[in-house]
Structure 1
Amino acid sequence: MEPTTVIKEVEDAMNKAVEYMGTEFSGVRTGKASPALIENLDVHVASYGTKSKLKALAVITVPEPRMLMVQPFDPSTVKDIEKAIIESNVGINPSNEGRSLRLPVPELSEERRRDMVKMVKGLAEDARVRVRACRKDGMDKAKKMKNENALTEDGQRDFENQVQELTNAAIKEIDRIFALKEEEVMTV
């Protein structure tokens, strides 16, 4: 095990945790219409006999600031898509127009905004936990390399300091992204 390789693996794992949190945040509704609200919904298409992501079945557009339009590639899937949107907990009721669906995005109440912030805070904490797990993994590998004489004591200390710096940077980035999302959710 090469120390620089292990540091790179730890850094990549931490970056993936931050990226995943950003992806999760994009699905949190802020009162504005965004295709990210629904594009990753699983839709069971009865005629195909499979589940697919909505973005693979339809074009999702934003014709107005508070409206989403879903136009399936295959018009026979409109009912399946409508059912999936209703069963999801995004809080949007689609209006079926035959070959497409209109989804008016309702205004969020103050109480609902606070609930959204709590949910976002939970997602941010999950990301912090993943980063700390990466840190622990890195520290364990440092001890293992020290035991295998791949690192000296000073080398181990330097390695652990690098892992800690990566951890601090990742958590700072999580906090920054969380603060932006919290402001976005609370803005009327």
Structure 2
Amino acid sequence: MAEKLLKDLERELSLGLSALEKKFLGLRVGRARPELLENLTVEIYGGKQSLGNVSSISAPQPQLLVIEIWDSSIKDTVEKALRKASYSPNIEGNRFSVPIPSPTKERRNELIKISFQYAEEIKVGFRNQRRAVLDGIEKRKKEDNISEDLIRKFKQDVDKIVNGYVEKVDILKKKQEEIVKSV
């Protein structure tokens, strides 16, 4: 039972860390990365699609993204979505060239604050998951007659796992801040 709970906790924390990495990749730090535009929503075919599903996106230069749409009939809606997201694309046929300017000092400071907020939100989520697991084991302690020693060991294992993921969040946050400052 305890092993399953620990594995489930580890899986949930891993998913949270992956989500944080995606959020960090979505921040505009002045370097062209396809991840900046892959999840941009485009209203086409009577619904919404992500730009990554209807085109190929590449970064041939550090300050330029190139989007090649697969269907020329969606050209206008893709342009509209890019402009709505504050990008200024240059269009040649089915190819969009999107320059990515370097952020100003104020914008870099804002990005650092945003990355700090993302990191703190995920840490709070990790702590909430820890609390939920520990509360669950406390309830089961009475029902299943689990010894205090096993409970203490389980709590230590949970704390060790959660603290390890909190450290990974701090490392990611520092890397993000270094990237923002270096641009």
Question: What TM-score results when the alignment is normalised by the length of structure 1?
Answer: 0.93
Cα shift readout 1:82-106 (whole Å, capped 9, x = no counterpart): 1112222xx4211222322110111
Matched position secondary structure for 1:148: helix
Which of residues 63, 66, 74 is equivalent to 1:66?
A: 63
Q: Which structure 1 segments of 5+ residues have no match?
A: none
Q: Deviations over 1:54-88 (max 9, x none)?
A: 10000111122211111101011111111112222
CA contact (8 A) 1:57 1:73 kept: yes
- Which residue of the partner structure matches residue 97 of structure 1? 92
| Number of aligned positions between the proteins | 183
Helix, strand or coil for the counterpart of 1:103?
strand
What is the match of residue 156 of structure 1? 151
Partner Cα separation in structure 2 for residue 29 and residue 113 of structure 1: 9
| Matching residue of 2:19 | 20
Are the aligned partners of 2:70 and 2:94 in contact in 1 as well (CA < 8 Å)?
no
Partner of residue 144 from structure 1, selected from 113, 119, 139: 139
Q: Work out whether residues 113 and 186 of structure 1, in 8 Å CA contact, stay in contact via their aligned partners in 2.
A: yes
How has the CA–CA distance of structure 1 residues 56 and 142 changed in structure 2, closer, same or farther, with 3 Å as cutoff? same
Deviation string, structure 1 residues 5-53 (Cα, Å, up to 9, x no partner): 01111111111111110111111112111100110111101xx111101
Distance of 1:15 and 1:64 partners within structure 2: 32
Q: 1:13 to 1:44 in 2, by over 3 A?
A: same
- State the AA in 1 paired with 2:103: L
Q: What's 1:166 paired with? A: 161
For 1:36 and 1:104, locate their aligned partners in 2 and report how far apart those are by CA, in whole Å: 14
Identical pairs, percent: 30
Q: Which runs of 5+ in 2 are unaligned?
A: none
Q: Please report the RMSD computed on the Cα atoms of aligned residues, expressed in angstroms.
A: 1.1
Aligned to 1:118: 113
